[in-house]
Structure 1
Amino acid sequence: MFMNGNNEFKFRKNLGAYVWVMLFILSACQPKQSKLMEGKYESYLIDKGDIESYQTAEGHVEPANEVILLSPASSIVKQIIKGPGQRVTQGETIIKLDSKAVKDKIEQLNDQLAVKHNSLEKTRLNAKGTRADLSYSEETKKLKIASIKSTLADQHQLLEVGGISQAKVDKTKQELVLAEKELKLAKQKNTIKLAQLATDEKGLLLQIEMQQKELKQQQELLSKMDVKAPSDGIILNIHAKEGEKIQGERILANLSDLTRLKVEASIDANNRWMIKIGRRAYINVNKHRLQGRVSSIMPMLDNGNLRFSVVLTEKDQSKLIPNQKVELQIVKRARYNVLRLKKGKLINSNKKQSLYVIHGDSAIKKDFEFGLITDEYLELKEGASEGSEVVISTSSPLNKLKSIKIEKQ
């Protein structure tokens, strides 16, 4: 059967109309709910919380830091216990250095300190004896002055009755003045002598303190002659050989620090606008979700991708292993501590929607306005308050009624 152009056009037009009519009839025939049965719908209590949308990326785990181990002093490499590629734990010895010179120095300092302590004891004993002598000398002079004053008083009485000459009295007065000057001079000398004794003791104490500090430094150095891992890690390189003579501050080994890990990742250049220092990110590994932050960004693109690093903000990093591949979720947009509603079948991605709020045994339709909308939550701007129960999903469509009855099964 053949149709001309006009007949074919009419046939297609009629066919399209027929299809639309059938779709309308089927839609009209679909059962609509005029009531809600408990257990046949899902609701959500509006709460306060965080809403985030993500951009996924892939990355791999690496140590965040590399540790350089230096020689603590000039010495000879006695033994290399661990080599490149070997895993070490915190405090485990990697290299042993010859410690004989340090031990000899410690022994020498202990001997010197013993001599200094002996000298200090002798100085204190000498000072004690000198103080006693000076005190005795000063008391003797005071007694002499008291005796002269007594004699002078007696002479004044004799002078009044003519029993002694004035010259004799004047001589005694001169002796008193001289004795008082001798006492004053003795006190000054004693003060200087005591100050000298105190200075001698202080000098010895200072020498002892300095040698004790040096001894402590040498003892600490002795503990460092066994070069140990400052943290858990993997040895990357050893820069010495057994029997080799080395200088102080020389690099002996490189060690990866396994206590601090990071994720090296890349993302398509079209999404680089969202990668910023400090941007929140999540690391998904073995059904665990760890929180981190973008810590560094490479300035140049690599084959059309932007490379960046994420460091964990959580202390427990035991779930990550170096060279492990992980999935990253970079936070694109977020709202924190806001009213939110969980998404359900009755909710679309429109900013304004009408939803049912449960009041007692009824669900009343209300207009809602939303802000940030993600696959999981919607930020509530207007429509209900915290704690309101909203119908988010039903087993079949709802009639466009302002209120729906809720019945128990």
Structure 2
Amino acid sequence: MTSNSPDTENSDAGREGVKYRPIVTGPARTSSSRTRRDIGMFIFVLAVLVGAAVLAVRLLSPGEKPYTLSNYTFAEVRSADFIDSVTAPGTVAPVNTVDVRAAVSGAVAQLNVAPGDEVKVGDPICVLQSPELVAHREEARRQVLAAEDALAKAKLDSVQLEERLGREIVASEQAVVDAAARRGDLEELFEAGAVPRSQVDEARSAESQARMSLEAKQSELDAAVRSNALSVDTAARQVNVAKDALRAAEDAISRLVVRSPIRGKVLELGVVPGATASQGGNVAQVADTGSLVVKAKVPSTDVRLVTVGQPVSINLGGKRATGTVRNVAPKAEASGQSATVEVTIDFDSQPADVPPNSAAFVEIQVRKRTGVQSLPRGPYLGSSREMFVYVIEGSSAVQRDVRFGSVFGNLIEVVDGLSPGERVITSSYEEFKDRRKIKVVPEGGREAR
């Protein structure tokens, strides 16, 4: 049913006079979206407030109180002469080491030394026992006595034979004289006609036989003399042979005492009491302590700087000595993960009371440099880890990065970061090393030496 009431008409007229825009509807806003927006706004406001508070604190609070150093040491960067060194560990070693060996076999009856003992030439190391050598010596003595007896007998037989033949020759000479006299008498009687010629001929024949007999005896004597001389000479040679054998046996006995051939120190023993030492076996090792050197193990990376004749400073466990490079080995030796080269160093003066195989530490002086900018070493190096120093500028000290180099004695080389004449704090930085700048009391500083 349609209504014609005035209100209805007015409404229609109003709708005709007004233009309506279409209404576009979107997704409805949820309560969670509004919550996130509110939280974000809260955080933003809170951050602003915190920032404002921090700024106010920084503006209103007083600044950090500066650090004042009132007691310190300082040094000036100065030029100095530096000697660059190659350092290396080493061992004291004898040039001459002798292995003392047994000249004969025998059981060790006595030890006269111990490792570390000093010995002189000829000092006994040990005494051996050998029943075989003793028996051999006794047999040699018997042989000498027998040979001497044979020589004495040969001489006696020679004398007796020559004496007998001499007597026989005297008798033969007398027989010749008698035969000659008889022959003369018979010749005179024959001339007088008192005897027949046959008797004269018999006398002449008897004289001839007597002379022949004399000549035979003389020949026999000459032969006997030569034979006797040969027998005596042979017997004498046998005596000499027997005596040589006795001397050899006695020498072997004497070598049962093993003696040191050199003056030095006993490094080690190769035998113990009761053990058997074989001929040629090692009994002890003796080092000539009058010819000690240092065998240094120089890193192969540094050995190119080392040459023969360079001076060396040697530390012997607190004792100081000097030396000279004698020899550089031609090849390197593996040592763990690195390689080293053996360098032999002579002592300028042989050290006293330094046993062989003692540890040593050497500094080989390889180069001298002049005009090197340097500072004295001090506590500041440890506290700064050698990375920076504090340079004094008036009543302040400013931290400055530096680069250090080599060390020589009490000085350290300044490679970069400082200029000659600048003054540097050399006492510890531990209390202020985190500050770039500090104040210093000029009257509180004293120059380091």
User: Which TM-score bucket, shorter chain as reference?
Assistant: 0.5 to 0.7
8 Å contact from structure 1 (residues 235, 253) kept in 2: yes
Distance change >3 Å, CA 185–CA 293, structure 1 → 2: farther
Residue 63 of structure 1 pairs with residue 85 of structure 2: no
8 Å contact from structure 2 (residues 107, 275) kept in 1: yes
Structure 1 stretch 87-96 or stretch 130-139: which is displaced more?
A: 87-96
Letter in 2 for 1:270: R
Which aligned pairs between 1:50-129 and structure 2 lie closer than 5 A? 60-82=91-113, 85-90=115-120, 91-129=122-160
- Describe the SS at the equivalent of 1:211: helix
Residue 235 of structure 1 pairs with residue 267 of structure 2: yes
Which aligned pairs between 1:2-401 and structure 2 lie closer than 5 A? 60-82=91-113, 85-90=115-120, 91-231=122-262, 232-238=264-270, 240-265=271-296, 268-271=302-305, 274-275=307-308, 294=326, 297-302=328-333, 307-309=342-344, 321-322=355-356, 323=358, 325=360
| CA displacement, residues 172-193 of structure 1 (integer Å, 9 cap, x when unaligned) | 2222222222222222221221
Superposition deviation, residue 146 in structure 1: 1.5
* Structure 1 gap segments, 5+ residues each: 1-54, 333-409
Letter in 2 for 1:108: E
Q: Distance in 1 between matches of 2:179 and 2:225?
A: 29
User: Equivalent residue for 2:388?
Assistant: none
8 Å contact from structure 1 (residues 280, 293) kept in 2: yes
Distance change >3 Å, CA 142–CA 312, structure 1 → 2: farther
Letter in 1 for 2:344: S
| CA displacement, residues 265-308 of structure 1 (integer Å, 9 cap, x when unaligned) | 46754346x53xxx798998978778x894x6522135776534
Distance change >3 Å, CA 122–CA 259, structure 1 → 2: farther
Distance change >3 Å, CA 67–CA 330, structure 1 → 2: farther
Superposition deviation, residue 150 in structure 1: 1.6
8 Å contact from structure 1 (residues 233, 259) kept in 2: no
Distance change >3 Å, CA 93–CA 160, structure 1 → 2: same
- Describe the SS at the equivalent of 1:174: helix
Distance change >3 Å, CA 311–CA 172, structure 1 → 2: farther
Superposition deviation, residue 215 in structure 1: 2.0
- Describe the SS at the equivalent of 1:73: coil
Length-normalised TM-score, structure 2 = 0.50
| CA displacement, residues 215-268 of structure 1 (integer Å, 9 cap, x when unaligned) | 222222222212233332223341x45444454223333333324333434675
Superposition deviation, residue 312 in structure 1: 7.3
* Structure 2 gap segments, 5+ residues each: 1-84, 368-449
User: Equivalent residue for 2:430?
Assistant: none
Which of the pair has more CA radius of gyration?
Answer: 2
The structure that is strand-richer by fraction is: 1
8 Å contact from structure 2 (residues 329, 342) kept in 1: yes
| CA displacement, residues 287-338 of structure 1 (integer Å, 9 cap, x when unaligned) | 8778x894x6522135776534356799x77586533648698999xxxxxx
Q: Distance in 2 between matches of 1:331 and 1:158?
A: 127
8 Å contact from structure 1 (residues 152, 169) kept in 2: yes
Distance change >3 Å, CA 259–CA 203, structure 1 → 2: farther
Distance change >3 Å, CA 182–CA 61, structure 1 → 2: same
Superposition deviation, residue 134 in structure 1: 1.4
Distance change >3 Å, CA 156–CA 293, structure 1 → 2: farther
Distance change >3 Å, CA 80–CA 203, structure 1 → 2: same
Identity %: 16
- Describe the SS at the equivalent of 1:61: strand
User: Equivalent residue for 1:343?
Assistant: none
Structure 1 stretch 130-139 or stretch 91-100: which is displaced more?
A: 91-100
- Describe the SS at the equivalent of 1:124: helix
- Describe the SS at the equivalent of 1:258: coil
Q: What value does the CA root-mean-square deviation take over the aligned residues?
A: 3.9
| CA displacement, residues 96-115 of structure 1 (integer Å, 9 cap, x when unaligned) | 32143333333333333233
Superposition deviation, residue 95 in structure 1: 3.0
Length-normalised TM-score, structure 1 = 0.54
8 Å contact from structure 2 (residues 314, 321) kept in 1: yes
8 Å contact from structure 2 (residues 176, 211) kept in 1: yes
Superposition deviation, residue 145 in structure 1: 1.1
Q: Distance in 1 between matches of 2:303 and 2:366?
A: 16
| CA displacement, residues 369-393 of structure 1 (integer Å, 9 cap, x when unaligned) | xxxxxxxxxxxxxxxxxxxxxxxxx
8 Å contact from structure 1 (residues 64, 311) kept in 2: no
Letter in 1 for 2:119: T
Letter in 2 for 1:121: A
8 Å contact from structure 2 (residues 322, 348) kept in 1: no
Higher relative contact order (Cα pairs below 8 Å, separated by 6+ residues): 1
Superposition deviation, residue 141 in structure 1: 0.9
- Describe the SS at the equivalent of 1:164: coil
